[in-house]
Structure 1
Amino acid sequence: MNWVQKRFDELTKEELYKILMVRVAVFVVEQNCPYPEVDGRDEDSLHIWLEQEERMIAYCRIVPPHEGQAYHSIGRVLVTQGSRGEGYATEIMNRAIDFLKKDLEVDHIWLHGQEHLRNFYGSFGFEEVSEVYLEDGIPHVDMLMKI
């Protein structure tokens, strides 16, 4: 297995294709949620993923603040269906949090997560800062970690 961390301009065409393919497979197809997955934020983001035999099995991105937001965020956190339950979600979250703490020295991290995962994100120190609301038909909650 191989952990990879790249900025957008470092990605190969093949890597970008894999990223978009796995995100669409999980967030659009698996969750039966048609929404604009390609959101214009990838160019500014740091992409982190785990590969196993050239397959991307876990992924997230770190997005800098934009449009009135004050904090960097962790988003598009996923583990592919056949790889769930192996601890990869915890590993990728720890990697993203460590990067934000050590490399960017941020004092807060923002997370816009699906409501059913709030206890998972809470286990890292994220606290809910919004009520549960629907986005694209899926309950979400905003969460913030103070470092």
Structure 2
Amino acid sequence: MVLEWKIKPFEALTVHELYDILKLRSEIFVVEQNCVYLDLDGKDKVALHLFGEFEGAIVAHARLFKAGISFDNASIGRVTVAANYRDRKWGHDLMREAIAGILSHFGESKITIGAQLYLKKFYESQGFVQTSEMYLEDDIPHIEMQKV
């Protein structure tokens, strides 16, 4: 059982792909995490969208940014895997694809992320190290992490 990975700029997403991506993010960041916040932050239009499809459904997604948009370095954000697929460890595949996508599309190897604190060990397993103190974003503890 392998995901089919796609990477597209905003303008190349189909209406159905965009809807499914936004639905997945809403399920996780708004409903599951019980956090009322504006997911549509204007950055989708300048992001590359990496997503994994399984049996015709988008079950994983991340936004990839060139340097200077979210952080001074290239960055990865809105990392999501549908709850009923997390036992398959596809989050690790998603991050490997995201890191490779940053390198191949932007020529960058230095990547910064704003990680939810509870996922620190997960991101460390992908080669990221903590570079900031804990801060609150939408009342959720976060840290900045960097991969060089």
Which bracket does the TM-score occupy, shorter chain normalised?
over 0.9
Percent identity of the aligned residues? 38
Q: How many residues align?
A: 146
Task: Write the letter of the residue equivalent to 2:26.
Answer: V
Measure how far apart 1:78 and its partner are: 1.1
For the residue of structure 2 that corresponds to 1:139, the secondary structure is strand
Report Cα offsets for 1:88-147 as digits up to 9, x if no partner. 10001001111222342213101101001011111121111111111111110001111x
Task: Write the letter of the residue equivalent to 1:44.
Answer: V
**TM-score, normalising length from structure 1?**
0.93
Partner residue of 1:17?
A: 19
Measure how far apart 1:53 and its partner are: 2.1
Unmatched 5+ stretches in structure 1: none
- Residue 75 of structure 2 corresponds to residue 73 of structure 1: yes
Task: Write the letter of the residue equivalent to 2:145.
Answer: M
Partner residue of 1:130?
A: 132
CA RMSD of aligned residues (A): 1.4
Aligned CA distance change for structure 1 residues 116 and 48 (closer, same or farther; 3 Å): same
In structure 2, what is the Cα distance between the partners aligned to 1:67 and 1:57?
25
Partner residue of 1:43?
A: 45
For the residue of structure 2 that corresponds to 1:111, the secondary structure is strand
Unmatched 5+ stretches in structure 2: none
For the residue of structure 1 that corresponds to 2:16, the secondary structure is helix
In structure 1, what is the Cα distance between the partners aligned to 2:141 and 2:70?
23
In structure 2, what is the Cα distance between the partners aligned to 1:104 and 1:16?
22
Runs (4+) off by over 4 Å: none
